Amino acid sequence: MQAKYGRIHQSKGMFVLQSLQCSASTLEFTMDIVVRSIIEKFWQACLDAVDTPYTVYRVVAVGTSGIGKTTSIPILIRMLLKKNRTVVYKFSTPRKEEWYYEFVPRSDAAEGNETQIDIHVYPEKLESQDIPSLQSRQTYFIVDAGEAKRNCVPHPRVLCKFFLVSSPGPVHWGGSQFTKEQNQQVSGLLKFLPTWYWEVKQRNIFFGPTS
């Protein structure tokens, strides 16, 4: 993980994940992701919920459109990979034309070195219960509801810890049934991403990653 995460100089509560390696088709590039300081605290609260003993919570992270839900997902993935957790990420599409991306930290990495990650890719049309790692309680499954107009919550037989990132709209998480205990081991929890305060926007309007 070569990307670095830290506070933006002279900003008010803004952080940046710098030099994130990306690729699109044959193009490779790096990018910076700027987020509010509250984002890491929000994802940690979500992690605390899914890691609750005796109950495997499935968390829906809800926020208004444009608040930075999708943008901040790499922060959550980074937090998990730093703990050597296997992560599966999927961006949902209406016709299931995207992919599952599975990130598996290598167990043979030398102590003190950067974590080495193996990446596996599966077509979105594959059912989540057919991906072996999602049957482990040690795996974290992150789904961005994207533009899909359907329930994005996996079948209860999928045993991994689950996050759904979604705009308000219960169609993405199956309505009120999500927060009801389906059995003694699976239940759902809604977490709401805090909105921007106008004062914070004013203080940070002139600052970017290179400030």
HSE on the CB side for 62, CA within 13 Å? 13
3-state secondary structure of 139: strand
Model pTM? Answer: 0.82
Residue of 108, 105, 93, 88 lying closest to 163 (CA atoms): 88
What per-residue string of b and e applies to 83-115 under the rule 16 or more CB within 10 Å gives b?
eebbbbbbbbeeeeebbbbbbbbeeeeeeeeee
- Would residue 86 count as lying in a domain? yes
* 106, part of any domain: yes
In-domain check, residue 55:
yes
Residue range(s) defining the domain that contains residue 141: 39-197
Neighbours of 136 (CB within 10 A): 12
Predicted pLDDT at 195:
80
pLDDT computed for residue 105 by the predictor: 92
- Determine the pLDDT at residue 206: 46
Which pLDDT belongs to residue 108?
A: 64
The answer to whether residue 178 sits within a structural domain is yes
pLDDT surpassing 70 at residue 210? no
Which pLDDT tens digit goes with each residue over 36-68? Answer: 888 889 999 999 989 887 676 799 999 888 888
Percent of the chain with pLDDT over 90: 36
User: What pLDDT score does 211 carry?
Assistant: 35
Position 211 in a domain: no
pLDDT at residue number 144: 95
Rounded CA-CA distance 149/170 in Å is: 10
Question: Judging by DSSP bridges, how do beta strands 4-7 and 186-192 pair with one another?
Answer: unpaired
- The whole-number pLDDT of residue 16 equals 75
Q: Cα(first)–Cα(last) distance of the chain, in Å?
A: 23
Give residue 134's identity as a one-letter amino acid code. L
| Domain of residue 99, CATH code | 3.40.50
Of residues 22 and 126, more confidence is placed in 126
Number of H helices, E strands in the chain: 3, 10
Residue 205 lies in a domain: no
Residue 13 counted as domain residue: no
Does residue 112 have a pLDDT over 60?
A: no
- The reply to whether 12 falls in a domain is no
